[in-house]
Structure 1
Amino acid sequence: MEIGPLFPNLAWWQQVNASTCCQDAVFYFLCAAYALVSSTALIQLVRIQVRVPEYGWTTQKIFHLMNFIVNGVRAVVFGLHKLVFLLHPKVLISVLLDLPGLLFFSTYTLLVLFWVEIYHQARGLPTDKLKIVYISVNAAMYLIQVCIWIYLWIDDNNVVQFIGEIFIAVVSFMAALGFLIYGGRLFFMLRRFPIESKGRRKKLNEVGSVTTICFTCFLIRCIMGFLSAFDSDASLNVLDHPILDLIYYMLVEVLPSALVLYILRKLPPKRISAQYHPIR
């Protein structure tokens, strides 16, 4: 099954995919888009640090730092796509394309961790082991993926590639499920909050919007992971699928990252000095 024929009267699909100029245009566009998002995350990180330097590395700062790294790596990879897609052994291509995706998972599940902590605190549930669970899940994910890469380095075969693609799809499904469950729980908890205020409405919109965006992008990533596992024509680790790459990466990383950074753009309040007493 080929991707192009799924769409009627799109004979240009194969022509675009085969065009070197179109390939370069798409990947350089993705490079620029990722660089823009990465720069935005860095600027926001600097603004937060200037605003509250005394707080150290908060979840908000780590989230923006990881966004800067993930999108920055993507920008470099797509900017050097002519070299990346010619690397040997082929497992190096998978490493450069899949590692930022795993970092994206770690970055956005950090939001899930933050929401779980808020939910547990509001319900009077223990929170001391939540960070351990987050770190353990991520460590296990990276360990399994590294083992897959090492095996592919030693013996590049279709079965292990299939397992690797299914693994990415499962990881994406877990992230989507996490956003759906805990984003939904926090949303409905805030909705049932008895006090009506502007801050409550803003937080409701924030949680609802971020949950919807992240659930959707990870669900799309999951679906595409399964498709690419069963259909080589849906593979994203090749140079001659530029249109598919453009649609995929814009939907699952660039636009979600940009939207979430915009939604979470509010700076933390300044810390009032103990010696300062506001006029009453």
Structure 2
Amino acid sequence: MIDLREGSCYPKSLMGVNVALASVDALIALLAFAQLMRIHSRNTHNGWTRQKVFHLMIGSSNLGYFLYFVLTIVAACKGWICWSRSCGFVVMAFPKILFLAAFLLLLSFWVDLCHQPNDEEDEDDAYSPREVLLEKNKPTSSADSRRRCCSFRAVKVGSRQKVVVLVTLLVFLLMLVAAVLIWIGRGRNPIDSSVVARVYVDLFAVAVLLLGVALACYGLVLLLKMSKVRSDRAASDMWKVAGLAGVSVLCFTSSAAVAVFTDIPLLFNWHGQKINGVCTSLLMVLYYFIGSSVPSAFVLWVMRELPPPLVTFGQQESRTIAFISDSSATVQPQRWTAAASVQNQVSRASPI
């Protein structure tokens, strides 16, 4: 058992903060995964949509933070040697990378909207609108649904989203290199493990700060574009974009400042030295709760709307027969094409 008495394995104030932060992240991860299952149950035929990917990344990031806070307490009380060398650094850095990737993905979608091509140059769709309409009317078997759900080929990855994947892989590789250097630096050699960890944390803090500035800039551009559209949907999306941009700037700036000017991200390497409990606790709340938990929760709140329920093929077929049986109605492929094209543009133009 872990001894929680004063002066034991971990300071009592920091113990309480770690438990509170772990509880918050566990709740956010649970909500994200639960909402992911609800979204998937309503549109299994769509595979991995943007909304599902965001919920998966936010849930995985907060689950990683939960494990980090719990393992930090256990490692300090049990005296894990590996934790102070490089294991603690990896567990600390991995959820932060997932968090960065989620907001980089959001930035890539905003950049796509700000640099959207003309209507005639529809580079996202490989098929014509009429083909998309006919594709929606085809029956989907359970095997096809499972194949789309489990296969990532259903995800449409644009050029900017590929850049996000590449940047995430490079940051992950940098983290592994830093972890190896920290492990080597524990021996008798010129490498200083604390300096390596500090350099990584500072570089990551600068990247997070630049990400917040980029979200603010492109959010402002989106607001100017959306202000020209007169509709209830545009007004709702404007509030979402403004909220995400504002929360990103405030939260990312505060977390980057704490990371650069303090040693809060490096508390996994705690060896019983004297720590100002109240000040350290406040800085931990500012770095982890304000810097990560609040933006994650805000993204989940913005994306809380469920997609429309799946219409079965039988209902679609009955509607089609009733439409054809009406002698006064004439089939106009041009209208079908225009309607499908407008619906496609609206779904693609959504900033969230």
CA distance in 2, matches of 1:104, 1:48: 21
Letter aligned with residue 11 of structure 2: T
Report the Cα distance in structure 1 between the residues aligned to 2:308 and 2:117, rounded to whole angstroms: 21
Which residue does the alignment assign to 1:262? 301
Structure 1, unmatched stretches of 5+, are: 1-14
Measured after TM superposition, the shift of residue 109 of structure 1 is 1.7
Q: Which residue of 1 aligns with 2:251?
A: 217
Q: How does 1:198-277 map to 2 (within 5 A)?
A: 198-228=232-262, 232=263, 235-237=266-268, 240=275, 241-272=280-311, 274-275=316-317, 277=319
**1:137-173 deviation per Cα after TM superposition (whole angstroms, max 9, x unaligned):** 1112111222111111111514323321221112212
Q: Distance in 1 between matches of 2:28 and 2:169?
A: 26
Structural mapping, 1:28-107, within 5 Å: 28-85=19-76, 86-89=79-82, 90=84, 91-107=86-102
**Structure 2: which 5+ residue stretches go unaligned?**
1-5, 125-157, 187-191, 324-352
Matched, 1:197 2:192: no
Mean Cα deviation higher: 51-60 or 107-116 = 107-116
Q: For 2:161 and 2:56, locate their aligned partners in 1 and report how far apart those are by CA, in whole Å.
A: 18
Give the equivalent residue in structure 1 for 2:183.
Answer: 153
Give, in whole Å, the separation in 2 of the partners of 1:122 and 1:271.
Answer: 30
Deviations 1:212-266 (A, max 9, x none): 11222222222222213xxx47854455533321232110111221122112211
Q: State the identity %.
A: 24
TM-score for the superposition, normalised by structure 2: 0.66
Worse-matched range after superposition: 174-183 or 83-92 = 83-92
2: distance between equivalents of 1:243 and 1:84? 22
- Please say if residues 10 and 73 of structure 2, whose CA atoms lie closer than 8 Å, have aligned partners that are also in contact: no
Bigger radius of gyration:
2
CA-based RMSD of the aligned residues comes to 2.8
**Residue 177 of structure 1 aligns with which residue?**
213
Task: Indicate if the aligned counterparts of 1:67 and 1:104 stay in contact, CA closer than 8 A.
Answer: yes
How many residues are matched?
A: 260
The verdict on how the C-alpha distance between 1:107 and 1:84 changes in structure 2, with shifts beyond 3 A counting, is farther
Inter-partner Cα distance in structure 2 for 1:227 and 1:106: 24
Q: 2:255·2:286 contact (CA, 8 Å) conserved in 1?
A: no
Structure 1 pair 103–234 and aligned structure 2 pair: CA distance change class (3 A) = closer
Query: 1:38–1:68: 8 Å Cα contact kept in structure 2?
Result: yes
* TM-score scaled by length of structure 1: 0.82
By how many angstroms is 1:105 displaced? Answer: 0.4
| AA of the residue aligned to 1:138 | T
| Matched-pair contact (CA < 8 Å) for 1:59–1:110 | no
